[in-house]
């Protein structure tokens, strides 16, 4: 199954990948504020090509992405919901750019980190995963939030500030790890602590895509399921809580594109009249230091032996 309306924004044919390219597939909808830091972060990890489907953005996202030489910008006549919450687009792009290779597969508000990632680019991580016989990197989304009322902290994306320099904290405890028949499961964090939202946090932001692969019914447990049980060795720093959060969540709730009629966002909006007044800080809140500190805290494992 594919999206016949999926096409390059500039109507050019797809640009073939080199064998040594590290491509990243992501979706964008009014994410202009994230794009400078998102691209800078992943370029720093060694991504050489960004492949983006823009879902009808009304901000300056399309113009910004089209001006970046390492970005292939795609658009579609379908909206996110009709494209199976983006899975149809991702699978179509994996087919267009080629199977039997590694892809980074994330959203625009997700920043992958792993042990010593400042010194070890993705090419070394891939080599290590292959040496261990691992074809998918398991990584939980860990929600970051500011140290105070959300509305007091603006992330505009207009400077070189990274999102974790504004939303500086995360819950260091309060997570449950379990194993289902189809994948590892991690649940908890501030969304459960504050809103009672018990969502699955595990995703697979780096995966080897071959003939057997499919995103199935959810990006949280791709097919074949037996590849979804490797040790957790990465973390997705996840950013949703900045000034303007109530207006953003209201737009998401009204546009009808997300799972279950955006019931998760409606749950959060129902918590208080103005989420901008919400202060997530608690005794379990911890200020982010660096990715290696998240290894020490047990969020992810080390893949490399200690010398």
Q: DSSP characters for 163-183?
A: GGGTS-EEESS-EEEEE-SSS
Q: Which helix (H) or strand (E) holds 286?
A: strand 285-287
Could you count the other beta carbons within 10 Å of the beta carbon of residue 270?
9
Percent of the chain surpassing pLDDT 70: 90
pLDDT of residue 234: 99
State mean pLDDT over 250-275.
Answer: 61
pLDDT of residue 281: 97
On the question of pLDDT at 89 being above 70, the answer is yes
State mean pLDDT over 233-254.
Answer: 81
| 258/115: higher pLDDT | 115
pLDDT of residue 274: 73
Pairing between β-strand 7-8 and β-strand 71-75 as defined by DSSP bridges:
antiparallel
On the question of pLDDT at 54 being above 90, the answer is yes
Percent of the chain surpassing pLDDT 90: 81
User: Is the four-CA dihedral 8, 121, 44, 31 of positive or negative sign?
Assistant: positive
The lowest-confidence range among 43-47, 56-60, 206-210 is: 56-60
d(CA 166, CA 119): 24
Residue 83 gets the label, from left (phi > 0), alpha (psi -120 to 50) or beta, of alpha
d(CA 32, CA 59): 7
The per-residue pLDDT for range 184-227, each reduced to its tens digit, is: 999 999 999 988 888 999 999 999 999 999 999 999 999 999 99
Q: List, in order of start, the domains of the chain with CATH numbers.
A: 1-108 (3.40.1380), 110-307 (no CATH)
d(CA 112, CA 236): 5
pLDDT of residue 258: 47
d(CA 227, CA 222): 8
Are 60 and 32 in contact, with CB atoms under 8 Å apart?
A: yes
Confidence class of residue 160 from pLDDT cuts 50, 70 and 90?
confident
Averaged confidence pLDDT in the chain: 92
Q: Which helix (H) or strand (E) holds 187?
A: strand 184-188
State mean pLDDT over 137-155.
Answer: 96
The per-residue pLDDT for range 105-144, each reduced to its tens digit, is: 999 999 999 999 999 999 999 999 999 999 999 999 999 9
Closest CA to 78 of 134, 152, 1: 1
Enumerate the β-bridge partners of residue 207.
103, 136
Confidence class of residue 255 from pLDDT cuts 50, 70 and 90?
low
Half-sphere exposure of 188 (CA within 13 A, CB side): 14
On the question of pLDDT at 262 being above 70, the answer is no
pLDDT of residue 81: 85
pLDDT of residue 306: 65
The encoded tokens of residue 81 equal: 């919901």
The per-residue pLDDT for range 13-33, each reduced to its tens digit, is: 999 999 999 999 999 999 999
Closest CA to 284 of 192, 173, 193, 191: 173
pLDDT of residue 253: 63
On the question of pLDDT at 292 being above 80, the answer is yes
Closest CA to 138 of 12, 303, 25, 269: 303
On the question of pLDDT at 251 being above 90, the answer is no
Cα distances (Å, whole numbers) of residue 7 to 12, 13, 15, 33, 93: 8, 8, 12, 24, 10
pLDDT of residue 271: 62
According to DSSP H, which parts of the chain are helical?
35-45, 61-66, 87-97, 122-131, 190-195, 245-255, 259-269, 291-296
d(CA 236, CA 291): 10
């Amino acid at each position: 199954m594919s999206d016949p309306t999926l096409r390059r924004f500039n109507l050019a044919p797809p640009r073939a990948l080199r064998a040594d390219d590290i491509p990243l597939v992501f979706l964008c909808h009014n994410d202009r504020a994230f794009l400078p830091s998102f691209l800078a972060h992943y370029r720093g990890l060694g991504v050489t090509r960004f492949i983006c489907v823009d879902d009808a953005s009304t901000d300056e996202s399309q113009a910004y992405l089209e001006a970046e030489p390492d970005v292939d910008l795609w658009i579609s006549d379908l909206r996110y919901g009709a494209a199976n919450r983006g899975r149809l687009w991702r699978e179509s792009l994996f087919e267009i750019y080629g199977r039997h290779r590694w892809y980074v597969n994330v959203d625009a508000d997700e920043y992958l980190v792993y042990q010593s990632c400042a010194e070890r680019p993705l090419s070394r991580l891939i080599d290590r995963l292959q040496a261990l016989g691992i074809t998918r990197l398991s990584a939980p989304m860990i929600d970051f939030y500011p140290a105070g009322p959300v509305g007091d902290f603006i992330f505009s994306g207009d400077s070189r500030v990274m999102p974790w320099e504004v939303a500086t904290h995360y819950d260091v405890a309060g997570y449950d790890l379990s194993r289902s028949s189809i994948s590892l499961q991690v649940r908890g964090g501030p969304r459960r602590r504050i809103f009672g939202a018990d969502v699955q946090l595990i995703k697979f932001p780096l995966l080897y895509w071959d003939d057997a692969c499919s995103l199935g019914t959810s990006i949280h447990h791709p097919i074949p399921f037996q590849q979804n049980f490797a040790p957790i060795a990465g973390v997705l720093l996840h950013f949703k809580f900045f000034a303007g959060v109530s207006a953003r969540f209201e737009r998401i709730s009204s546009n009808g594109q997300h799972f279950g009629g955006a019931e998760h966002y409606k749950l959060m909006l129902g918590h208080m009249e103005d989420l901008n007044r919400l202060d997530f800080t608690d005794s379990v809140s911890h200020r982010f230091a660096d990715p290696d500190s998240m290894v020490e805290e047990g969020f992810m494992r080390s893949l490399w032996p200690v010398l």
